[in-house]
Amino acid sequence: SDLLASMHSTVRAVEAIVSQVRTTTRSSVVAPHERAVRQERARMQELIGATLEKEREAAAKRRGRLEELRRVEAETRDRAAEVRGKVSEDLPSALERECVRRSEKKDERSRVAS
């Protein structure tokens, strides 16, 4: 009976020691590791967030440049159409003036020659 009581006492003492070791291990080894892991995870999420934000800004700039290029292209196309229209309007009359000028020159040479 004394032996049994002594064994129970020893088992309780060992359980108390195991419990203390678990608590100590948890607070001195596991908890700091978990804390470090949480901090690293938070840091990585911040980095990812910052990278995504930079990517969004870069994409917005690219869209802005693309829109600017499209606007300039449209203006250039409009200006080219204007110039083509002007040339097509002016060309016949310019050709006619040139023909008249050459004809007058030819007539003048003929008069001078005769």
As given in the structure block, the two tokens for residue 13 are 């003492």
Answer yes or no: pTM beyond 0.85: no
Cα angle: 59, vertex 62, 66; to 5 degrees: 140
Cα angle: 11, vertex 12, 15; to 5 degrees: 85
Using CA atoms, how far apart are residues 66 and 27, in angstroms rounded to an integer? 57
Percent of the chain with pLDDT over 70: 100
pLDDT in tens, 44-56: 999 999 999 999 9
Q: How many Cα atoms sit within 13 Å of 112 on the Cβ side?
A: 6
**Residue 10 phi/psi, 5° resolution?**
-65, -45
Highest mean pLDDT among 26-30, 61-65, 99-103: 61-65
